[in-house]
Amino acid sequence: MDVVDILEKSLEILKAYPLCDSCLGRLFAQMGYALENWERGFSIKTMLHMKLVTLFRQGVDVTTDLKSLARIHKPTRRFLSTIGITVEEAQCYICGGLLSNVERFAKEAVSKVDGIEFETFAVGTTIPREILERESEVVKKFLVSTGESIKHEINRRIGKELLRLLGRRVDKQRPNILIKIDLINGKIDIVKNPLLIEGVYLKLSRRISQAKKFGNVKSSLLEKLQYIRDMYGGVEHIIHVSGREDSDARMLGPGRPLVVEIKQPTKYKGLPHLYSDGDVIFIPLGFTTRDEVRKLKEKAKTDIKLYRALVYSDRPLSEEELRKLAELSGKTVVQYTPRRIKRLNPRKKRTRMVYEIVWRFISSHVFELYVRCQGGLYVKEFIHGDGGRTTPSVAEILNTYLEVLELDVLSIE
């Protein structure tokens, strides 16, 4: 499409609909470069004005075209008034004047983010449905294929003004805050997106749970990580963990991956410090995303874990008998939900692999086990059998009642 085509098509559109500079220019947004839509529309109208006035002075009857242009072009109205023709200014058919100063919403939004320490933002707008319908009507009627949507223009213009006023980066994928502007009622809301901090933790106590306190549990990992919520000024924090160990099991070795989610923070800068109190060690590693949280939880099902267990046998065992445990290496273990948690789903069945099992004889009634297995294996039940709900089990192979005295997670691969 060349300049002549643009002028001819624009005149046809303006004869049918009065459009402001922005709404006319937006129909040709894909043409030209580094121009705002209002600049395109202003230029098109100026060229049309020059062309039509020249034709009129040459004796061509273009009065109707001049009147159509004059509805939304002041210089053309002035020209017509010199020849005794008065034309009333019309409101833009598409936006109704909304785009004349849409940047004003950016100025109002700036006061709303006061007190929030953020680095990135995005803009979202709600536009009156009738405006979108009128734009669609014009685009379809004149088969416009070179434009952009009014919503895109509004978001871009407000975002550009906010960029200038705030001096922060725009991030459409993962912004710290989302500035929501309702152009129907003029309401502006600030959505503070959660902050996700990844790290690893070690649990050195046998009286610390992950989230809930119960029984002889003295504290929880969630409770101890409250300092992170406070640091970022959040209203709540939750944790996402790659698997779970019992409250009486220690988490040793390089630690277990964890993500702390801070809801509605007022600060998005700076990493928390390492936490250590003798019971728990948390090592923050950096900021992460919701996608990585999903991967973390999925990975827990396929992780390979190494456990150490101290086991008591009701009857005395010999080293020779413990050698029978070799047959459990490479076995698939079938487990129904353990009795201690069967209230959740008593008949749920899972299968997990035991890759390797090693033992150390301590005394006739006590031995140590090292179990390398697939994530999700109920290790305690694998050892004592859970009354037959887990098979095969260590107790089944040794034909004795077993009790797990201590359990530690040594590594997660």
Residue positions annotated with a catalytic role? 246
* Distance separating alpha carbons of residues 118 and 26, to the nearest angstrom: 32
Number of neighbours of residue 12 by Cβ within 10 angstroms? 14
Question: Would you call 143 helix, strand, or coil by DSSP?
Answer: coil
User: Would you say 239 and 258 are in contact if contact means Cβ atoms under 8 Å apart?
Assistant: yes
User: Would you say 311 and 371 are in contact if contact means Cβ atoms under 8 Å apart?
Assistant: no
Q: At what angle do helices 150-166 and 104-112 cross, to 10 degrees?
A: 50
Helices (H), 115-149: 129-141
What Cα–Cα distance (Å) separates residue 88 from each residue in 25, 51, 64, 69, 179? 22, 21, 14, 11, 38
Pairing status of strand 366-374 against strand 208-209? unpaired
Name the nearest CA neighbour of 194 among 89, 304, 118.
118
φ and ψ of 103, to 5 deg: -65, -15
Residues 6+ apart with CB under 8 A from 325: 357, 359, 369, 394, 397, 398
For residue 392, cis peptide bond before it (omega within 30 degrees of 0) = yes
378 marked among binding-site residues: yes
**Binding-site residues for substrate:** 307, 378
**Binding-site residues:** 307, 378
